Amino acid sequence: MERMQLAPGVYLTTLPADKFKRCRITIHLRFPALRASATDTAVLALVLERGYAACPDMTRLSRRLAALYGAELGVDLAVGGVDRVLTADICGIKDEYALAGENLTEAYAGIVLGVLFDPHLVDGVFDPEAVRIEKETLARRLQAEYNNKRLYCVRQARRRFYGHGPAAIEVGGYLKDLPAVTPATLKAEYDRILQSARIDVTVQGADAARIGELLLQKLGGVPRAPQPYAPPLAMPRQAPAHYREAIPGLTQAKLCMLFTTGTPEPLPDIHLLRLAMCVYGGGPTSRLFRNVREKQSLCYYCAASAQSATGSMLVDSGVEPGGEERAEQAILRELRALQDTPPTPDELEDARRALLSGMDAASDSLAAQESWYYGQILRGEEPIDPAEAQARTRAVTAQAVQAELQRYTLSVSYIVTAGEGNDNG
Amino acid sequence: MDNTALQNKAAAAVGCRRVTLPSGLRVLCRPMPGYSTAYALYGTAFGSVHRDFTLDGTPVHLPAGTAHFLEHKMFESEQGDAFDLYARTGASANAFTSYERTCYLFACTDGVEQNLDILLGVVGRPYFTKKTIAKEQGIIGQEIKMYDDNPDWRLLTGLFQCLYAQHPIRDDIAGTVESIATLTPELLYACATAFYRPANMVLAVAGNVTEEQVLAACRRAGLDRPAPAHTVEYAFAPETGPVPQKELTFTMPLNKPCFALGYRVAPVARGDAKQEMLYDMLPELVCGGLTRLYRRLYDEALVNPEFSGEAVGADGCCAIAFTGESEAPREVAALLRAEIDRLKREGVDRELFGLVKNEVYGDLIADLESADDTAEDLLSAELKGYTLEEQIAALAALAPEDADAALRAAFDEEQSAYVEIQPQQGGQA
């Protein structure tokens, strides 16, 4: 891995890709999240994916990608700590597999850079027709959240957990804000992002120097003031709040529990945090899987994950209606057991082996490799390779896992279940 | 596209070794230099639709959900749970059941021989007691309920119930709580004997592994010796004529209607890679992301971005289904029918055909750089009766006229059905 700074707040990472048949270019723009423009940001990602100045039409762009042997272009908006990350990536077969000797990688670079830095504008703002269409698309997506009850339950729990704090800003935006989104507000948000973002480009299997050069050309006329990453936070501890939402006709109940550390400091070592989650609820050897699912048959899925930047841990589960409280108690019992007594040597080593194996596999796909390094950059860490991460994971002790899990207390429990009548804490 | 160039490049890229062992097991191995992961997939041509068969002349009838239930139970042995054995090696393991097959898999970066021993030792050697069966019924009951809340899954099941009167594809892969309650150890052992015979199975391994490692593991598992012979026969009565039900409407707790428009089409004959590829391409040619119709539906907010079409089939049945969310589902269905009529009259757009073919080629090449996708593609092709190289060759040989003919044969209005899920009252506004 090679990483270099091209300009203030602009970095280029090159990763080896000799064994792959495709190449990939990924551009991340990380910028502060704002409640006021959250919906503009969400619409912007959709509008950018439709096309760019040199290829403004969505169908033409799709056909262009198909002609490049089905190259895949993605524009995605995600959460990075408490910030937002707008990512554009393109992945396609290497030049050597082109049937007519085309220079595919140059074409890939042109498209992915064009999508982010040369948007299709009409009279200085985004195309009104594209904005109208994508506002409707976003509206449908936001409404569709309810159709996926597992996702809906998790999001409802997060809303109760984060309240009105910075981590509560919805990455998908707000339905009620959509009418105020215009081509001009979108352009203002685009300019804010370009100005404030820290930019990370990752090149795998293509000419990195050429892409770096093209990127700097694109940024030439842009007034830049890259912002630092938002600091980590944690929701204060509170007495557990229980919410219950009844949905007539639902067959399987969903349970989502959110825990807090109460304070973001000390920021946990990522290797320790991963191992702790793996032992508690991260796979078929975890306590939640073995005991709550397999031994007690209380649920079909039951998994734990943690986010260091917000000092939170989430457990979500699909349970038999009427068995929600029993499942919740079983999940808490397993946590208390690990808080009271460190994991056994066998279960610690089972979890550790699973993690070590996963780290080896990080170099076996372009996307996983890119995600491995950018994940560390997102957390503000000095990137290390999988071998070094494995060494650090091997050093984690059972007592450290116990101490890490002792930091979490339950804040919010949200149940979506069959029947009628709601109880909102 | 130059077909010969495409074939040569693709065949060189696949580079897979194939062996059929004396036991009848077909072994496919594709070493991938430079990769850390080895991915193994061990599959049997036994899926949810294989419910009535004869085993050595004795008829056997299975309740819905048996193949899936057996998949869950195959992880257990007298010594304990296979997950525990994999945990000792760091491998991640899983299994899945579809309409036409059941597969067991692991991915590992270390100890591939040991993991192959676990895989080959556990699968095909089932161990059940009434107690362990009862425990699994609880977990699978939860899985069934999870799928009951999934509108996409309910649409597909509803569609098959409209398109087929008898075929077991009408039933959910996992069955029902009631159907799996009738399972007995004897029935499960009969299935294992009938369908987990080496001759009915394929082992596909790709990534950080050598052919010798795979064959040595097969030898250790006794798969290099002839296996006991059993005669298993099953057949599916062809269903022709009008579909049993033209429309189905029901409600779920949703806030947007969902719909499916489906066409019952001729099942793909074993080994017919050309027909398989054509069926995969037809939905893309009708309403894929490159078409004018998709653009209209998207721009007029008539469908969600995930709206799409796909061919879904198994032994003795096949359907091409278009599914999505829409505030105006009947309008979308009418537009789809009109576009299909137009294409039947005018033929497919030649440029579009070339682009879709390009995309399919790109997808196949992309799969070859991932150990899991490679193993999956190799096994899938093998169980369907062709090789990955033959699949690529079939793609290379496809001409727009083939698509025209397939389109005219596939989309018969009399063989179609429409399913709609309306939001249930009392749901979210």
Q: What digits encode the pLDDT tens for the residues B51-88?
A: 999 999 999 999 999 999 999 888 887 777 888 889 88
* C-beta atoms of A357 and B91 within 8 A: yes
CATH topology of domain A2-219: Cytochrome Bc1 Complex; Chain A, domain 1 (3.30.830)
pLDDT of res. B81: 81
CA-closest candidate to residue B378, choices B6, B23, B32:
B32
Can the peptide bond before residue A223 be classed as cis, meaning omega within 30 degrees of 0?
Answer: no
* ipTM field: 0.84
List, for residues A159-185, the tens digit of each pLDDT value: 999 999 899 999 999 999 999 999 999
List, for residues A245-299, the tens digit of each pLDDT value: 999 888 889 999 999 999 988 888 999 999 999 999 998 889 999 999 888 888 8
pLDDT of res. A151: 94
- Give the span between the Cα atoms of A314 and A293, in whole angstroms: 17
Residues 6+ apart with CB under 8 A from A217: none
pLDDT of res. B429: 44
Residues of A (341-360) whose Cβ lies below 8 Å from B: 350, 353-354, 356-358, 360
- Give the span between the Cα atoms of B93 and A289, in whole angstroms: 14
Same fold, A2-219 and A241-424: yes
Pick the residue of B9, B14, B94, B109 with the most A CBs within 10 A to test the interface with A by mutation: B109
Residue A63 has its nearest CB partner, among B33, B139, B290, at: B290
Residue A297 with chain B: CB contacts under 8 Å:
135, 138-139, 142
CATH topology of domain A241-424: Cytochrome Bc1 Complex; Chain A, domain 1 (3.30.830)
pLDDT of res. B199: 94
> Under a CB-based contact definition with an 8 Å cutoff, are residues A183 and A131 in contact?
yes
Distance from CA of A415 to the nearest CA of B (A): 15
Domains (ranges, CATH) in chain B? 16-233 (3.30.830.10), 247-423 (3.30.830.10)
Residue B365 has its nearest CB partner, among A62, A97, A358, at: A97
* C-beta atoms of B256 and A143 within 8 A: yes
- Give the span between the Cα atoms of A181 and A131, in whole angstroms: 8
* C-beta atoms of A69 and B362 within 8 A: yes
List, for residues B132-149, the tens digit of each pLDDT value: 888 788 888 888 888 888
pTM (2 d.p.): 0.90
- Amino acid identity, position A402: Q
Residue B85 with chain A: CB contacts under 8 Å:
none
CA-closest candidate to residue A350, choices A274, A263, A284:
A284
Residues 6+ apart with CB under 8 A from B391: B273, B276, B277, B364, B381
List, for residues A30-42, the tens digit of each pLDDT value: 999 999 999 999 9
Measured between CB atoms, does A285 come within 8 Å of chain B? yes
Per-position DSSP letters for A294-321, written without gaps between them: IIT--EEEEEEEEEGGGTEEEEEEEE-T
Q: Is the pLDDT of residue B2 over 90?
A: no
Q: Is the pLDDT of residue A146 over 50?
A: yes
List, for residues A73-121, the tens digit of each pLDDT value: 999 999 999 999 999 999 998 988 777 788 899 999 999 999 999 999 9
Residue with tokens 């899991």: B372
Regarding beta strands A312-319 and A299-307, do their DSSP bridges make them parallel or antiparallel, or are they unpaired?
antiparallel
Buried b (16+ CB within 10 A) or exposed e, A351-366: bbbbbbbbbbbbbbbb
- Give the span between the Cα atoms of A204 and A368, in whole angstroms: 12
Domain ranges (residues) in chain A: 2-219, 241-424
* C-beta atoms of B290 and A22 within 8 A: no
List, for residues A327-385, the tens digit of each pLDDT value: 999 999 999 999 999 999 999 999 999 999 999 889 999 999 999 999 999 999 999 99
Distance set, CA A322 to CA A254, A385, B138 (Å): 11, 47, 14
**Token duo for residue A248:** 């007539």
Pick the residue of A279, A353, A370, A416 with the most B CBs within 10 A to test the interface with B by mutation: A353
B235-254 average pLDDT score: 93
> Under a CB-based contact definition with an 8 Å cutoff, are residues B252 and B158 in contact?
no
**Token duo for residue A284:** 């078929």
- Give the span between the Cα atoms of A362 and B291, in whole angstroms: 36
- Amino acid identity, position A136: E
The mean pLDDT value of chain A amounts to 94
**Token duo for residue B290:** 């490159």
CA-closest candidate to residue A126, choices A32, A63, A45, A195:
A45
Residue A62 has its nearest CB partner, among B81, B289, B361, at: B289
Pick the residue of A21, A59, A129, A147 with the most B CBs within 10 A to test the interface with B by mutation: A147
pLDDT of res. B227: 92
Residue A350 has its nearest CB partner, among B87, B135, B149, at: B87
Distance set, CA B45 to CA A231, A286, B176, B197, B232 (Å): 54, 32, 22, 10, 12
Segment (H or E) for B218: helix B211-220
pLDDT of res. A422: 66
